[in-house]
Amino acid sequence: MPAPAEFLKYVDAQSDAFISRLSDAVSIASISGDPAYRPKVVEMSNWLNAQLQAVGVTTKQVDLGTHVMDGKTLNLPPAILGRIGEDKSKKTVLIYGHFDVQPASKSDGWDTEPFVLTKHEDGRLIGRGSSDDKGPVLGWVNVLQWHHETQTPLPVNLVFCFEGMEENGSEGLDALVVKERDGWFKGVDCVCISDNYWLNTRTPALTYGLRGLVYFKLNISGPGRDLHSGVFGRTVHEPMTDLISLMSRLVDQGGNILVPGVDDMVSAADTEERALYEKLDYSIADVEAAAGGKIALSQEKTTVLMGRMRLPSLSLHGIEGAFAGPGAKTVIPAKVGGKFSIRLVPPQTPDSVEPLVRTYIESEFAKLGSKNTMELELLHSGRPWVADWKHWNYEAAKIATEAIYKQKPDLTREGGSIPVTLTFAETLNCNVLLLPMGRGDDGAHSTNEKLDRSNFIEGTKLLGTYLYEVAAQAGN
């Protein structure tokens, strides 16, 4: 069931008006991570709430309470819950998005004012939030506008959940999802989130997995205070010597995790799954361009893609308490904390991986024969997520993508995390689809963030068409 041709024509015809509305959204500097901008996030919630109501959505703004930032207690910006359609014969799709943005100022190195949407002649719509995540959110408003103006009933019921704290840990959202599970979110059949990116700049993508994380701090202490290396060098057990030795035993140059059992938990890809990676429109040149250096771990595209998407990874981030400044300080630091983290994939969980790391570190530390003290802290953790990409939700998105882009979408997994995805999947117990609007080079958290005009316009068509294909799948 393709989307009505009139809808697609309308989107083309209205594209300047749509971009103008995106421009209005970008002009509100809704930076959630800076207390000084909190009123702007609230203004953005109010603005979006009005936009939704104008296209027929029943909404409520939800007070999420307070939180503490920079030592100050602040009101959280209100989330927006919305609903349109109550037809029990139709599927109900939950749409998530966020209206807050990352910080930005021209002095960071932007070529243009970050909160003025700048239309470049090459098609780029440049501005903070253009791609992450105001463009996708307004894509839904665009879809609704045609249905509202033409009084065309939507092919599915829609429920919306838009928040203003995503860039700062989605404070208050998990509790809201749990609270509204049998309330506002009752009867939701599937979820669609448009808040990630294509793998490249050419090929639309559907994303069905995210890695989890365990983040450790490995503390070694011994001296009562920092010591002078002239006076104490070769007389005492130096905490840095122990720490560096332990950190060197965690991962090898090939990216293999040396903690026994961690890599082993993940089974090898079967032929069908391997074929998914072979099909992806991605090259070693792409990964090296993105990294800014010719440093890919392999010249094999599938190896590199599987390393990012379906294998765990271990990165060494740095050391707290060691000498980190410029110059040549001859210090023996008294207490050092090595930071490292492991990205997890199913069936790994923080609960299953953390004990392996702890046992290994304890055993390796014992081998050192050091008189220093070792302590392993788990700072942060999150489970991985993988959806069934053969689910009708994905099938609908695939057909819609082919209809709009005349291309098969890449079926991707992200190496990072979007924690709300797991919250929806587990709390609502339904399939979650990540349906990106923007391209891999949009620079979501960087300077000169952009959304290509064609991604915004064709993406709007894609979102609308997806709803029709969900409805079609329901008939299957």
Interface with a second copy in residues 351-390 (CB under 8 A): 368-372, 379-380
Question: Which of 259, 221, 225, 216 lies closest to 238 in space, CA to CA?
Answer: 221
Active-site hit among 132, 166, 189, 364: 166
Identity of the residue, 114 or 307, whose beta carbon is nearer to a second copy in the bound complex? 307
> Which one among 114, 333, 350, 438 touches a second copy, defined by CB under 8 A?
333
Indicate if 100 belongs to the active site: yes
Question: Which of 123, 79, 129 lies closest to 103 in space, CA to CA?
Answer: 129
Identity of the residue, 320 or 395, whose beta carbon is nearer to a second copy in the bound complex? 320
**Shortest spacing between CB 475 and Zn ion, in angstroms:** 33
Identity of the residue, 42 or 437, whose beta carbon is nearer to Zn ion in the bound complex? 437
**Shortest spacing between CB 50 and a second copy, in angstroms:** 35
**Shortest spacing between CB 318 and a second copy, in angstroms:** 3
Alpha-carbon separation of residue 444 from 38, 66, 130, 167, 352 (angstroms): 20, 27, 8, 11, 32
If binding means CB under 8 A, how many residues of this protein chain bind a second copy?
Answer: 82
Q: Which stretch binds a second copy (CB under 8 A): 13-21, 77-85, 150-158, 210-218?
A: 210-218
**Shortest spacing between CB 144 and Zn ion, in angstroms:** 21
Q: Which stretch binds a second copy (CB under 8 A): 7-15, 90-98, 182-190, 220-228?
A: 220-228
> Which one among 244, 265, 376, 471 touches a second copy, defined by CB under 8 A?
244
Q: Residue by residue, what is the 3-state secondary structure of 19-75?
A: HHHHHHHHCCCCECCCHHHHHHHHHHHHHHHHHHHHCCCEEEEECCCEEEECCEEEE
Q: Which x/- pattern over 281-320 shows residues binding a second copy (rule: CB under 8 A)?
A: ------x--xxxxxxxx------xx-xx--xxxxxxxxxx
Burial of 440 (0-12, 13-18, 19+ CB in 10 A): buried
183-202 residues in contact with Zn ion (CB under 5 A) are 195
- CA dihedral of 369, 373, 374, 379, whole degrees rounded to 10: -170
Indicate if 377 belongs to the active site: no
Question: Which of 258, 417, 275, 431 lies closest to 345 in space, CA to CA?
Answer: 417
132 is a contact residue toward Zn ion (CB under 5 A): yes
Question: Which of 434, 467, 452, 453 lies closest to 146 in space, CA to CA?
Answer: 467
Query: What is the Cα–Cα distance from 187 to 93, expressed in whole angstroms?
Result: 9
Q: Which residues are catalytic?
A: 100, 166
Q: Which residues bind Zn ion (CB under 5 A)?
A: 132-133, 195
